[in-house]
Amino acid sequence: MLLAVDIGNTKIKAAVFETAALINKFIFDKSEALKEFKKIFTQYPHIDKSTLSMVGEAEAELLQLLDSKSELVIINHDSLFPFKNKYATPKTLGIDRMVLSAGAVLQYPGVNRLVIDAGTCITYDFTDSDDNYLGGAISPGLQLRYNAMHNFTAKLPLLYPEMPSHYIGNSTANAMHSGVVNGVLHELEGFVKQYNEQYQELTIILTGGDAEFLAKRLKNTIFANSNFLLESLNLLYLYTITND
């Protein structure tokens, strides 16, 4: 069994895999990491391998636990990836974006792919049908937009994502919901249209914490999969041990 772990800035996502099958998924705060991972290893004593990617920092004690309980592989910029990295500043490319792109290449071979990760920030990552990673875009996510309006104005309240009933907001709260949610939806639709105009056979994967909230409101044909990062970690691990 394989334990795939993604360490973010505040949350940790983990999943137990048996080859390609996702057995169970976990999400918890970084402050609870040691306790939660001990529970996972107790619940699944047959975990003998683990793979980890991180945006934020990981405590040394946590890494020691993973390494002592399993054969640990940490994904970094020097790891083997199934694409050619054409980013102008490859060392600044986030590991999470690289893992998502690897998953897209491995799961959808021979086509153009755009991975949209709707989390704290919204990231767009494009790999062409020849497995070249070309780059993408980064913009503020839903909650970050609400936070910015509250933090950088005198009177706007702090709100949380809610689908507006109409694009014309008839109150301050409704106007903010319309601006944030419809703004993100128009952004997504605009980017997808732009990519579709240039690239044929485009496969679009929408993932991240806000994927399900946004997917049902989008007009374009996309694959919405909130587990795509963890699945990509598993696929990348299998690719690495096969090609190393």
SS3 state at 219: coil
Give CA–CA dist 134/83, Å, rounded: 10
Domains and CATH numbers, the chain: 2-74 (3.30.420.40), 84-234 (3.30.420.40)
| Helices and strands: H and E segment counts in the chain | 8, 11
* Contact partners, residue 177, CB within 8 Å, separation at least 6: 159, 161, 162, 163, 164, 169
pLDDT given at position 218: 84
pLDDT tier at 10 (50, 70, 90 boundaries)?
confident
Residues 147-169, mean pLDDT to the nearest whole number: 95
125 is catalytic: no
* Contact partners, residue 94, CB within 8 Å, separation at least 6: 55, 123
Q: Which DSSP state fits 90?
A: G
pLDDT tier at 115 (50, 70, 90 boundaries)?
very high
In this structure, how many other beta carbons lie within 10 angstroms of the beta carbon of residue 7? 23
Q: Which residues pair with 203 in a beta bridge?
A: 113
Q: Which of 48, 67, 96, 244 is catalytic?
A: 96
Asked if pLDDT for residue 172 goes beyond 80, the answer is: yes
SS3 state at 66: helix
- The answer to whether 209 and 140 have CB atoms below 8 angstroms apart is no
